[in-house]
Structure 1
Amino acid sequence: MRERTDGRCAHALSVLACIGLLGLMGATLAGCTAFFGPHEKRANAQLLPTVGNTARGSVTFIERSDGVQVTYNLTGLPANSDHALQVHERGDCNAADGSSAGAVFAPAASRLRAGVRVEGDLGNIHADATGVATGFIVAPDLALDGVRSVIGRSVLIHREPDDPAFPDHSVGPALACGTIR
């Protein structure tokens, strides 16, 4: 004998099937957010010594809400010394002295005013008694995209420290250079 249905049972089963499918999709997507969720923007540069120097290391750029955190880990510097760390306009470290990197990165109008610190001037770093410099600097005027982006540019460690009182003062030749990727 055959039982007669008016479609309510079939409709209830299809609703339950849809709810189950949505639950399964939700669980799958929740798992994907851990994989595809927000990732920090970051870039890296491997610094190699310029001719006649031994400085080398890595510099990492991580975009934060207050600017770009620049973390450095450098070796081969003169013991107990201070050095300027700068981002330069071009990502070209082919010249033996690092000069192919161009001028210090200055995307804003500050580059037109003498005596003003430009965005690419990250400040000074200190090497310890073994010639190692590690630490970080927060650069509020830099970014990893847009006109203030450092990606595709170069980062250089210079022989002399930067003097904040005289921003136009030369920081000497580059000890190491690396392209920011």
Structure 2
Amino acid sequence: MKRIFLSGILTLAFVFTGCKNENTTAEERVDENTNLTQEDSDMMMEEEEEVKEITVQFQAKSGSTLSGNVTFMEEDGEVTMNAKFSGLKEGMHAIHLHEKGDCSADDGTSAGGHWNPSNKQHGEWGSAKGYHSGDIGNFDVNAEGKGSITFTTDEWCIGCDDASKDILGKSVIVHEGVDDFSSQPSGAAGKRIGCAVINM
């Protein structure tokens, strides 16, 4: 009985819809379809606008043989950094965001200090004791001199109105050594051996 009842309802719904469509002029049906298509188009455009992506190349510094690139992608309120390297010495290396988008100096010092808009002490990302907005951490390099790191946070943005979150105009610095997460103000990570300016 339940199946018959549902079938009857679907039949009535079909008849009602058919009558409604018959009473609608061809022009009105075209308008409805046009409006629906426009709405879909607007939604697609909004989705596309929500995703921002930048890829920049590293410059070797301090006599290093480093090469590589870094991509920043912002989506759904988070920024993901994906960096890939080659030409590095095997082991751990520190990587940070620095305050100036300037890689002109041979030793990378033109990039300034760590990006630290909140004036906190240097430390490991997420530490209750505090950390810079540029304190990403360390990544590992294999015996072939290749390494990579992926990092995601909602504390960054790409080209937003919040200066405490906007990474545009900053630089990415790769260090020769390891960030110890305690030495102030930069983790005693050693020479700057790679630099990339974050710009559109």
TM-score normalised per structure 1: 0.79
How many Å apart are 1:58 and its aligned residue? 0.8
After superposition, where does 1:1-181 map in structure 2 within 5 Å?
16-31=26-41, 33-34=43-44, 36-39=45-48, 40-65=51-76, 67-79=78-90, 81-110=91-120, 116-144=130-158, 145=160, 146-147=162-163, 148-168=165-185, 169-181=187-199
Larger mean Cα displacement after TM superposition, 135-144 or 171-180: 135-144
Q: In structure 2, how many angstroms separate the alpha carbons of the residues matched to 1:27 and 1:125?
A: 47
Instruction: State the one-letter code of the partner of 1:63.
Output: E
How many Å apart are 1:47 and its aligned residue? 0.6
Contact 1:87 1:104 in 2 (8 A): yes
> Across the two proteins, how many residue pairs are aligned to each other?
167
TM-score normalised per structure 2: 0.72
Contact 2:122 2:181 in 1 (8 A): no
Percent identity between matched residues is 25
The secondary structure found in structure 1 opposite 2:132 is coil
CA RMSD, 1 decimal: 2.7
Structure with the higher fraction of residues in helix conformation: 2
The secondary structure found in structure 1 opposite 2:58 is strand
How many Å apart are 1:98 and its aligned residue? 0.7
Instruction: State the one-letter code of the partner of 1:83.
Output: H
Contact 1:45 1:155 in 2 (8 A): no
Higher relative contact order (CA 8 A, sep 6+): 1
